[in-house]
Amino acid sequence: MKFVLSGVKPTGIPTLGNYLGALKNFVRLQNSMKDYEFLIFVADLHAITTYQKPEELKEHIRTVAALYLACGLDLDNLTLFIQSEVHEHVELGYVMQSVAYMGELERMTQYKDKMQKQVQGVTSALFTYPALMAADILLYNATYVPVGDDQVQHLELTRDLATRFNSRYGETFVVPQVLVQKTASRIMDLQNPTRKMDKSAENPKGCIFLTEPLDQIRKKIKAAVTDNDGIVRYDVENKPGISNLMSIYASITEMTFQQIEEKYHECGYGIFKSDLAELVVTEIDKVQKEYDYWINSSELDQILNEGKARASMFARSNMRKIYEKMGLKR
Ligand code: AMP
Ligand code: TRP
């Protein structure tokens, strides 16, 4: 069995960044990688590395699960589950902490950023989180891991940990490969286009949430920060706002930046933004209609139960082998 595996943290309502950078990409990959089984999960144990209100976390876990299905993942080739329901993730997460060095974890930019931003205490779970992420992947010997570009460093660490474990204890893990898309691997905040669009951002104006009213989405796109020269041209350095909008446009239409530049050659930003708003709204409208079905359906629970059972079966068997290699068996 060969696996493609990925997860999303339920720290809020998923954004257009999650959709274009992750969810929609999973659907695309499912269509082109028919020999692989897709293991997709809600990374709830990762969410609690920063404090989550219990009632909100519960709601967000279900929202993320329903959104995965709403985006059109093919159920015939999907194991969808909730991370905390397969307890081997935590077991292997601890094992991975015994393989990871402090120095390696200290170098993770996501940790360094959070450390700088957070006024109150940074938790030890936030620090060790890449070890848990490595465990999520290695537990199933996943071959490919599609992620946005903020996760690439964690994937490199995962590969190092797998290699180190294999050389210490003998060939055990498949060393996974990262899959990053060319466009939309980092959608930026609409109000602050040098920052990643993030579901837990303080200012929701720069962020498009997948479940928000369509009219509000249109407004946010039209109010996106651009520049004063009025030329639709891709130039991340000097025109980060318009370049970000062009990435969104390119990702939805599969047009190249050059084609977009030619199409909007004689237009100002107004027309471009209106067209983009309609493209995004049409796309999200489809997702919302499906979402309304899944979030209220008992079929969602059934899929999650089946996913839990299937993921647990692989996890249990691999965990036994891992402990044996390490001498942790009578
Ligand atoms: P997270 O929301 O951090 O759990 O991320 C879930 C997945 O979405 C990961 O593969 C991220 O790399 C991807 N992702 C998150 N934010 C963005 C963004 N702004 N642009 C592109 N991909 C993203
Ligand atoms: N850390 C990822 C994020 O913040 C989510 C995640 C957790 C993940 N475990 C994973 C992604 C394993 C891919 C594979 O986006």
Q: Can you give the pLDDT of all 330 residues of the chain as single tens digits? A: 899 999 999 999 999 999 999 999 999 999 999 999 999 999 999 999 989 999 999 999 999 999 999 999 999 999 999 999 999 999 999 999 999 999 999 999 888 887 787 657 788 999 999 999 999 999 999 999 999 999 999 999 999 999 999 999 999 999 999 999 988 899 999 999 999 999 988 889 999 999 999 999 999 999 999 999 899 999 999 999 999 999 999 999 999 999 999 999 988 899 999 999 999 999 999 999 999 999 999 999 999 999 999 999 999 999 999 999 999 988
**Catalytic center residues:** 114, 196, 199
Return the ligand 2 atom nearest residue 148 CA. Answer: 15
Give the pair of three-digit tokens for residue 49. Answer: 């590395």
Say if residues 76 and 40 touch (Cβ distance below 8 Å): no
How many beta carbons lie within 10 A of that of residue 114, not counting itself? 17
Helix (H, G, I), strand (E, B) or coil at 261: helix
CB–CB of 190/220 below 8 Å?
yes
What is 3-186+298-326's CATH topology?
Answer: Rossmann fold (3.40.50)
Distance between Cα 66 and ligand 1 center (Å): 17
Q: What is the CATH number of domain 204-292?
A: 1.10.240.10
Rounded to the nearest whole angstrom, what is the distance from the C-alpha of residue 148 to the centroid of ligand 1? 5
Other Cβ atoms closer than 10 A to 321? 11
Residue nearest to atom 22 of ligand 1 (CA): 21
Q: How far apart are CA 193 and CA 221, in angstroms?
A: 12
Q: What is the DSSP string of 24-73?
A: HHHHHHHHH-TTSEEEEEE-HHHHTTS---HHHHHHHHHHHHHHHHHTT-
In this structure, the residue with its CA closest to atom 5 of ligand 1 is 8
3-186+298-326 and 204-292: same fold?
no
Side chain identity at 311, as an amino acid letter? A
Q: Could you state, in order of their start, the residue ranges of all structural domains in the chain? A: 3-186+298-326, 204-292
Q: How far away, in angstroms, is 132 Cα from ligand 2 center? A: 9
Nearest ligand to the C-alpha atom of residue 5: 2
